[in-house]
C-alpha cells in the first residue's frame, strides 16, 4: 500500500469493519453490554484524538492516518477479553494488547499495510498499555507508541470521570504517598485502596509525553477533580504541589514538530 488514497481507503474500510466486529459482541446482558459500549466509544475517541495529536505534531497525511488506524485497533482485544473473562483487568485475565494483536492476525487485518507500517502498528499496540515503552532505536515506532499512549490516557480520564468517588475513608498506602511526594511512578500491583486507585491516575500525568495532551487533561479539569477527591493530608499536599509544579514546567515546553 503506497499511495495516500490507498491508506485513506484502508482506514475507512476498517472503520466500517470494526463497527461490525464490535456489534458482533453486543449482548443482552446489561453489564456486558455496558462494558462493550464503553470500549466502542473509547475506540472512536482514541482514533480521533490520535489523528488530531499527529496533526498537531505536523506529521504528514499518511502518518496522521496511520496514527488513527493505531487508535482504531489499539483496544481490539478488549471485546474478546470482556466477553470471555467479564473483566478489563489484565492481571485477572490476559494482556489485552497481545490479545488484540492475535485478533488482528486472525482476521488478516494488517496484510495490506506496508511491512514498515505493520511493524510500527504492532509495536505501538503492544506498548500502549505497558508500564514503559520497550527499548527501540526506531524513532518512528517510538513516536507512534507515544502518540497512542497519550491519546489513550486522555480518553481514559473521560471514561473514568463518572466513577470518581469522594470521601473514601481508607487512606492512600504509605508506599504510594512516598512515591507521589517524589514525583515518581509506582507499582500498580501494590494498589490496596480506592484512594490508591485515584492516586495512580494522578501519577499517569508524569507519563504523558506531549504538552498538547497535558493541556487537554488540565483544561478538562480532570486533575483538580481527582485532587479534590483525595485525602488532604500534609504529605498528600506536598505531592499535589510537586505535581502542579511539574505540570506548569511541562506546559511551558512546546511540542516540537516532527522532522522528516
Give the residues lining the site for Fe ion (CB under 5 A): 75, 129
Alpha helices in the chain (DSSP H): 4-23, 30-56, 61-73, 77-85, 96-106, 115-127, 139-160, 174-181, 194-203, 211-219, 222-229, 234-252
Closest to Fe ion by CB, 129 or 179: 129
Kindly state the smallest distance separating residue 145's Cβ from Fe ion, in Å.
13
With CA atoms as reference, report the closest residue to 25 among 84, 71, 72: 84
By the 8 A CB rule, do 155 and 49 touch? Answer: yes
257: exposed, middle or buried (Cβ count in 10 Å: 0-12, 13-18, 19+): exposed
Kindly state the smallest distance separating residue 124's Cβ from Fe ion, in Å.
11
Kindly state the smallest distance separating residue 90's Cβ from Fe ion, in Å.
9
Kindly state the smallest distance separating residue 78's Cβ from Fe ion, in Å.
6
Closest to Fe ion by CB, 128 or 216: 128
Q: Which residue is nearest to Fe ion (CB)?
A: 75
Closest to Fe ion by CB, 39 or 198: 39
Closest to Fe ion by CB, 37 or 248: 37
By the 8 A CB rule, do 66 and 123 touch? Answer: no
Distance CA 2, CA 112 (A): 10
Kindly state the smallest distance separating residue 226's Cβ from Fe ion, in Å.
20
Distance CA 174, CA 260 (A): 46
Q: Which three cell numbers stand for residue 258?
A: 516532527
Closest to Fe ion by CB, 75 or 122: 75
Amino acid at each position: 500500500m503506497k499511495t495516500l488514497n490507498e491508506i485513506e481507503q484502508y482506514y475507512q474500510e476498517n472503520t466500517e469493519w470494526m463497527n461490525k466486529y464490535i456489534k458482533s459482541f453486543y449482548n443482552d446482558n446489561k453489564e456486558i453490554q455496558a462494558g462493550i459500549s464503553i470500549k466502542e466509544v473509547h475506540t472512536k475517541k482514541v482514533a480521533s484524538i490520535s489523528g488530531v495529536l499527529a496533526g498537531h505534531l505536523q506529521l504528514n497525511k499518511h502518518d496522521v492516518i496511520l496514527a488513527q488506524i493505531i487508535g482504531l485497533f489499539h483496544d481490539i482485544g478488549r471485546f474478546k477479553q470482556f466477553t470471555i473473562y467479564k473483566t478489563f483487568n489484565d492481571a485477572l485475565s490476559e494482556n489485552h494488547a497481545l490479545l488484540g494483536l492475535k485478533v488482528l492476525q486472525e482476521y488478516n487485518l494488517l496484510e495490506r499495510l506496508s511491512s514498515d507500517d505493520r511493524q510500527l502498528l504492532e509495536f505501538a499496540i503492544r506498548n500502549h498499555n505497558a508500564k514503559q515503552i520497550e527499548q527501540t532505536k526506531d524513532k518512528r515506532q517510538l513516536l507512534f507508541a507515544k502518540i497512542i499512549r497519550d491519546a489513550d490516557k486522555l480518553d481514559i480520564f473521560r471514561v473514568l470521570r463518572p466513577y470518581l468517588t469522594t470521601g473514601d475513608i481508607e487512606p492512600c498506602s504509605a508506599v504510594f504517598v512516598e512515591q507521589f511526594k517524589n514525583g515518581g511512578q509506582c507499582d500498580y500491583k501494590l494498589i490496596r485502596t480506592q484512594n490508591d486507585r485515584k492516586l495512580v491516575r494522578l501519577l499517569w500525568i508524569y507519563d504523558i509525553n506531549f504538552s498538547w495532551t497535558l493541556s487537554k487533561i488540565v483544561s478538562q479539569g480532570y486533575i483538580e477533580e481527582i485532587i479534590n477527591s483525595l485525602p488532604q493530608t500534609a504529605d498528600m499536599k506536598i505531592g499535589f504541589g510537586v505535581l502542579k509544579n511539574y505540570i506548569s514546567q511541562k506546559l511551558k515546553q512546546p511540542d516540537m514538530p516532527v522532522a522528516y
